[in-house]
Amino acid sequence: MKKKILLLTTGGTIASEQGSEGLEPHRAGVMERELNQLRTYYTVSVRDLMCLDSSNITPQEWQSIARDVFNERSGFDGIVISHGTDTMAYTASAVTFMLPDIDLPVVFTGSQLPLQDILSDGPDNLRTAFAMASAGYPGVYIAFDRKVMLGCRAVKVRASGFSAFESVNARYAAQVTNRGLVVDPTVLPRRRGPARLAEKISQDVFLVKLTPGLSPTIFDALVRMGCKGIVLEAFGLGGVNVLNEGLRGIRAAVRAGTSVVVTTQCLYDSSDLRVYQVGSRLLELGVIQGRDMTSEAALTKLMWAIGQGMDQNQIADLFATNLAGEITAEDEK
């Protein structure tokens, strides 16, 4: 019996055609040739949610996607979401937190070349996504270049290469080999209860990349703007300039009630503020460790936590908790 898969389309390169000013996203009709192939193996339903370049997808669209997944999931074995690659990691991370304990596979995919191009990577990516969506492993994933990764661990690392995404600090959830789709069960998220929709988020969150000599007044300005959360990409294990009042702005932000999460600019490995003096001084101020989370996951998790009405202490506890595979918790190392 064929598995029932719902395809939700949002635009992106995979559904684009050449226009007068460059590639433009279109509705699912441009995907019909490939969908006819997939219907040989699956019962496919299609719904166009939006038609946007992913650069134009905002937190409002994240919420719309999460609501549609939650409300439309009944009667399907899995859901595939076609999406532009530029912000796919942000959307997949956000949707991961908005859909706690989702009870079916939700798989994002896209392509670096439009489906209309004979050399497109889109057909392979769609086939991998549909295979994962029909495999029966609940969670939010990204399927790309014959690999499947947790949505909250994915980072876009190439602008044009077909291996556009990598799973950072976590093994792939599944890979396509000569044995078909091979799933690593140790990577899959753990369900703790019934599926819920918790789509409220706060947009009063800002991502700051630390640079040598960064003025502490940037943190003062963010607080004045009403920023409730800051993700700070620090150096190495979490190094921050502690001289020349380098910590003053962070201290003031924390005291003003702003949650400050410190991650690392290094793509791989983890921030650990306990190793160096500069990190220890940050911990004394009440900053929150981002551990081995991606910046995309840290940002969206903080947006989600504030949107759920959590205070600084609750957010600190949340960031020490592995909700869906986004961090390696202390007891999992």
Active site amino acids: 13, 85-86, 156, 276
Q: Is the dihedral of CA 116, 11, 87, 140 positive or negative?
A: negative
Q: What is the largest CA-CA distance in the chain?
A: 68
Q: Give the list of residues 6+ apart from residue 152 with CB closer than 8 angstroms, or none.
A: 92, 93, 96, 97, 140, 293, 294, 296, 297, 300, 301, 324, 325, 326
Beta-carbon count within 10 A of 145 CB = 19
Distance CA 218, CA 74 (A): 47
| Contact predicate 243/278, CB 8 Å | no
Candidates 210, 266, 260, 209; CA nearest to 236 is 266
Amino acid at residue number 245:
E
Q: Give the list of residues 6+ apart from residue 178 with CB closer than 8 angstroms, or none.
A: none
Give the position of tokens 């290094």. 266
Dihedral angle of Cα 92, 101, 71, 31, to the nearest 10 degrees: 40
Q: Which residues of 119-129 are buried (b: 16+ CB within 10 A; e: fewer)?
A: ebbbbbbbbbb
Pairing state of beta strands 16-19 and 22-25?
Answer: antiparallel
CA atoms within 13 A on the CB side of 291: 21
Distance CA 270, CA 207 (A): 17
Distance CA 163, CA 303 (A): 28
